[in-house]
Amino acid sequence: MDRFLDRPSDRLSGTEQLIFGALGQAVVKSWSRLPQSVQQDLFEEAVTTHGEPMRQQLAVFLHDKHARTADAMKAQALREPDSLGG
């Protein structure tokens, strides 16, 4: 059986790259509707696959795209006083 999932992305065929891209876009579009446990599994698998330096980039990207997270971050920013005590 071809283990294309274990190959580096630069060694995938054009069709395989297209499939990964399509699935990746679908995941990002569906992210806010996925159960939190699935989000965590996908996030950790992406970090494992692409290395620890990807963790911060991926977190920032998903926070920007994920409506519930973005709304929660905005609400938290409104509740926290600024550094001048205001």
Please report, as a single letter, which amino acid is at residue 47.
V
The rounded distance, in Å, linking the Cα atoms of 26 and 30 is 6
Which range of residues forms the domain containing residue 60?
A: 53-80
Query: What does the pLDDT read at residue 13?
Result: 86
- Does 65 fall in a domain? yes
Number of domains in the chain: 1
Query: What does the pLDDT read at residue 83?
Result: 54
- Does 85 fall in a domain? no
pLDDT in tens, 17-61: 899 899 999 999 999 999 999 999 999 999 998 899 999 999 999
- Does 63 fall in a domain? yes
- Does 24 fall in a domain? no
The rounded distance, in Å, linking the Cα atoms of 47 and 54 is 6
Instruction: Name the region of 23 (left: φ>0; alpha: ψ -120 to 50; beta: rest).
Output: alpha
